[in-house]
Structures are given as C-alpha cells and as structure tokens.
C-alpha cells in the first residue's frame, strides 16, 4: 500500500484529522492511483497529444528513501538525528514524484502549493528535497526563493547542513561564496530574493518559502520562464497564510482552490491546503476550541509541534485582537488583512445572499462613482426590506475592454476573472462609455420593475452624465465627498458591514474594494474614505455603495415609507 493510500485511509477512518480540502485532495489522488487519467499535453511541435499518467511507486519512494537514509537534522532539539518523515510528508512526496507520464516517465506535477501552519517542519522537508536533487541529478540549477534573502537562506542553509553531516555527501557538495556546488554532477543551489539579480536563470527546481509575503510575481514569472526548456521542472511553494491581500499569494491560493474544485483543469498543479473548515475568524475561534481541530493546519502536532505550545498561544491571544489575527493567519491559515485597514477579511466575509427577483416592484436607491474614463467605474442599487435594518446591494463595475490585459499585468489583480464572473463589464475600447452606466440603470429598472427613488452621485467630472440621467427620468441627488457629508454615514456603514448587515452576494470586487479602504480623520474626528498608499487598489465599488448609503440616511423616513 502506498503512503498516499495509507494517509487517506486514516483520514477516512478518523484516525487522522484534516480539513475538507486535504480530504478532497487525497481522495482524488487515491482515485488517480487506481484509475489513471489521460490529459491533453502540448508537444514541442505545437500540437496536443493525449498522455496517460500512472502512479509509479518506485519513483515515488526514491526521494523518501534518500532523505531518511542520508539526511540529518541540524536544529535543536533534533540536531544530528536522522530525518524521519511523517506520514503526511511521505504522502506528499509520493504525490509529487510518483505520478508520471506512461510513455516518458516524466513527472506529472510541476507546481506545488503547500499551505501549512508554522513550525510543522516545512523548511526541513524542503531542504531534504533540495539535498535530493543536489545529489541524484546532473546539471541541475536549484533555487531557494523568498521575499527576502534572509528567508531564502533558511532552506539553503538547512540543505547545506544536511549534506555536511554526511561524510560521503559532504565530499561531493562544496559551499562556495554564494552557492552550493556538486563538482561531480555540476548541480548548483543558490538563494534568491525579490531584490536579487535574476538575470541568466536556468532553473530546474525552485523551492519557494513564505509566498504570502510576495507583493508581486516578478521573481516567480522569471524563474518559470527560465524553466521553459526543462522536461521535468518543479516549483514547490510552501507558506502559511498572512496579511498581504490580493497579491501573489491570494492569486495562487485562488488558483489552487479552483484546481481542487475542478473549476480549472490543470493536471500539473498540486494544491495541498492544510486549512480549517471555518470561513471567517468568528467560526475559526469556535473551531479551535476543540484541540483535535488543530491537526487540520498542523499535521505535525505532537512531534514537531506540542499541544502545550499551541494551547499557550491561543490563551495568550484571547483578548488581543492583533495578536489573535497573527495566530489565525500563521498557525491556522485563516487569511487576515493588515492591522491598519478598516476591514478585516472576516468583516467582509458575508455569506448571506439574496435574489434580485425578491425586490421586483420595489423602491431602491442608486449610487454611482464615475472614474476617469480609463479607470474603474461603479454603480450600485440599495434595497431594504420592511421591518429589517439590513441593506442589500447590487453592484456593477466597468473597465475599458482594451485595457484589461494591461491592468491585470500592472495592477496584479484578476480583472479577466472578474469580467468572466460578470462582476465587471467591458465598456468602450480605451475609455469607459458612460452611456453603459445609464443603460444599466434603465435595464435594471425595466427588467425588474424597480423604482430608483434617487440616484446619488459625486458632482466631480459628471456634469454631462447627470444631465443624461435626468433626461432619462431619474431623480439625481448630489453627494459631496468631504468630511461633513460622508463622516457619519461612513461610520454607520462600517458598523453595518462588521455586523453583517450589508449584503452584497459575496461579490469579489466589492470585497476587494472594502479591503482596500482606508480612512482619513480630521481634527474633529470626522472621517472620509481614501484609497491608501497603493493607488492601484481601487475603492470605486465601495464608494458607489457609500453614496447610496448617504442618500438613504438623509432620506431614511421618506424612503422607508415606500417599503
């Protein structure tokens, strides 16, 4: 029986506790062992060929056998002891190295994302893999990557220490000034950071640590490009969760989830996500009250990690919001925003949804944030139900068609995906056509027999469009964007979001805008919304919602009489 099967059987029987994502992954891998899959693979001549991938247990075990036979640990309290892999580590290594093309024997998986809690031996397993390739391959370039050089040197140094503790291997691999070098087989290993000189890369194996810290994909893209001529490239990413949102890690994690759920078919990507089943901090805090659930993100609990250590951390952070956020991100892989933002990820994870048909024949309030013509423009409709203080928002955004690829490349946000999901519509070629905004309001009004009592707008840069809307029959209401107008409504809207009273159908673009939001405070403690330092992080959808919210507060009694 393979380690993959043994691991899954223990998960299924309840002997090993994991989250749903790990269970789902290993269920698939076991099925792939017994029912090999065939995928179309692009060949050198540009044509696709169906390739069957089988499980070769002998190849799957080679790295495991090497690591356990030749590698010793270098950190107290295990320094000098042989590295004995845990079952989850053996199952993972078998998955990476065991599935191969039936005709060539080349590895199926070329990219791995391992999301796992802190202090579970992730650097140790990566160092073991690095040592394996330094010895068994020929002419390989192995890079240890991270956001900073000091982080990149952790795996690099641990690999060096492992090799130096073995008399035979230490004779083959020498430490030079900037790298490790196998003189017999010409293998080289070097650390890489985001600020490193990345010219001339020819990478075979890329071991990447803590990708949650990456602000962009520059290093990753350059390394991947350098692997273009390799038959068996491998990018192995390992990380906890963190506080940098909507950047490289979130994009990778979203991709991993889509692969795991079958939305994206990528037979070369292996998503190994040790996560809680909770979707927000409130539920996570409930979940971690049961110490058995700690295994879901800490598979080495009881060996590398002690129960006492985790229990101590949980108790110490119970009444400290910032420290609890760090605990949930680093040890339990729950995404968090930075501590200076208005909203946490938990705040904007609002699972309640609604159907627009529920508001047919109803009054509503509109809001619009008109951007510069080549930026993001957003419009919103606000609904309420009688005898409820919840606000329901339907939001649409627009961006120019010819600028989507450019925005995605420069801003590093998934505009194409948001267009495909209809959160954003394309408008014009290189600049937004405001007629599309007018037509959206008309379409919503006619299709659902809605009655927009007022449409709120920022007077800046909107004179022509306001006249067009008035000519169409809409009653427009100006909302100045200063402290006096926005402060109280913004405070109340923030409170409503945090109380889960703002319902927006889990719209990804709205969540993104909320997480981008910062506030500016004047001497009288009045507040107004601002983008923050990164001007690429838009808040336009939130601003359209806020304008509608301002008009609601200014006309609350009048509006609720229509419900």
pLDDT above 90 as % of the chain: 67
Q: Where are the beta strands (DSSP E) in 458-533?
A: 476-478, 502-503, 518-521, 527-530
pLDDT at 106 over 90: yes
| Assigned CATH class of 3-273 | alpha beta
Domain segments of the chain: what residues?
3-273, 281-330, 356-560
Using alpha carbons only, give the angle 506, 273, 125 rounded to the nearest 5 degrees: 155
8 Å CB contact between 322 and 315:
no
Which is more confidently placed, 403 or 264? Answer: 403
Report the pLDDT value the prediction gives residue 340, as an integer from 0 to 100.
45
pLDDT in tens, 153-209: 999 999 999 999 999 989 899 999 889 999 899 999 999 988 777 888 999 999 999
Pick the CATH number of 356-560 from 3.30.420.240, 3.40.50.150, 1.10.3720.10, 3.40.47.10: 3.30.420.240
Tokens of 227: 């692997």
Average pLDDT for 520-524? 84
Q: Count of alpha carbons within 13 Å of 192, Cβ hemisphere only?
A: 26
Averaged over 55-65, what is the pLDDT?
98
501-512 pLDDT, tens digit per residue, is: 999 999 989 988
Q: Is 356-560 the same fold as 3-273?
A: no
Q: Specify the pLDDT at position 296.
A: 97
- Residues 152 and 144: their CA atoms lie apart, in Å, by 6
Q: What is the pTM of this model?
A: 0.67
For residue 338, pLDDT over 70 is answered with: no
What pLDDT sits at residue 556?
94
- What's the sign of the alpha-carbon dihedral 161, 165, 166, 169? positive
């Amino acid at each position: 029986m393979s380690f993959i099967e043994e691991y899954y059987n223990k998960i299924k029987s309840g002997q090993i506790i994991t989250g749903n994502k790990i269970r789902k992954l290993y269920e698939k891998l076991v099925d792939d062992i017994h029912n090999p899959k065939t995928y179309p693979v692009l060949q050198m001549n540009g044509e696709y060929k169906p390739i069957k991938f089988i499980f070769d247990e002998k190849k799957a075990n080679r790295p495991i056998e090497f690591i356990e036979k030749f590698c010793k640990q270098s950190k107290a309290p295990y320094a000098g002891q042989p590295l004995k892999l845990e079952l989850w580590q053996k199952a993972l290594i078998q998955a990476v190295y065991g599935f191969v093309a039936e005709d060539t024997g080349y590895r199926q998986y070329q990219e791995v994302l391992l999301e796992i809690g802190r202090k579970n031996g992730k650097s140790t397993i990566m160092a073991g893999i690095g040592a394996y390739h330094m010895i068994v391959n020929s002419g390989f370039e192995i890079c240890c990557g991270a956001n900073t050089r000091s982080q990149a040197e952790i795996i690099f140094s641990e690999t060096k220490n492992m090799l130096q503790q073995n008399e035979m291997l230490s004779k083959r691999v020498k430490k030079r000034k900037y790298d490790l070098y196998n003189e017999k087989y010409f293998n080289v290993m070097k650390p890489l950071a985001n600020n490193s000189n990345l010219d001339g890369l020819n990478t075979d194996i890329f071991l990447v640590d803590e990708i949650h810290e990456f602000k962009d994909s520059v290093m990753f893209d350059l390394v991947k490009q350098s692997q273009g001529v390799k038959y068996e490239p491998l990018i192995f990413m390992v990380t906890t969760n963190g506080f940098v949102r909507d950047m490289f890690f979130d994009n990778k994690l979203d991709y991993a989830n889509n692969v795991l759920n079958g939305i994206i078919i990528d037979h070369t990507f292996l998503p190994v996500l040790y996560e809680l089943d909770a979707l927000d901090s409130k539920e996570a805090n409930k979940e971690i009250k049961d110490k058995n659930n700690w295994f879901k993100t800490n598979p080495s609990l009881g060996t590398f990690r002690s129960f006492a250590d985790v229990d101590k951390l949980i108790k110490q952070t119970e009444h400290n919001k910032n420290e609890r956020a760090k605990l949930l991100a680093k040890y339990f892989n729950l995404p968090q925003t930075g501590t200076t933002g208005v909203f946490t990820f938990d705040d904007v994870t609002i699972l309640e949804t609604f159907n627009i048909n529920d508001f047919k024949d109803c009054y509503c309030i509109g809001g619009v944030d008109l951007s510069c013509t080549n930026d993001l423009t957003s419009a919103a409709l606000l609904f309420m139900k009688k005898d409820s203080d919840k606000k329901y928002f339907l939001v649409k955004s627009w961006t120019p068609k010819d600028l989507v690829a450019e925005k995605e490349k420069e801003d590093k946000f998934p505009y194409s995906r948001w267009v495909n999901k209809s959160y954003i519509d394309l408008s014009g070629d290189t600049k937004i056509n405001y007629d599309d905004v007018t037509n959206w309001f008309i379409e919503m009004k006619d299709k659902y027999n809605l009655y927009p009592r007022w449409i709120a707008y920022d007077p800046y840069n909107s004179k022509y469009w306001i006249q067009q809307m008035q000519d169409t029959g809409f009653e427009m209401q100006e909302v100045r964007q200063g402290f006096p107008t926005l402060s109280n409504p913004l405070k109340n809207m923030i409170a409503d979001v945090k109380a889960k009273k703002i319902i927006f159908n889990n719209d990804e673009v709205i969540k993104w805008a909320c997480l981008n939001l910062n506030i500016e405070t004047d001497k009288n403690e009045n507040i107004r919304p601002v983008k923050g330092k990164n001007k690429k992080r838009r808040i336009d959808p939130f601003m359209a919602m806020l304008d509608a919210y301002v008009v609601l507060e200014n006309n609350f009694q009048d509006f609720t009489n229509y419900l």
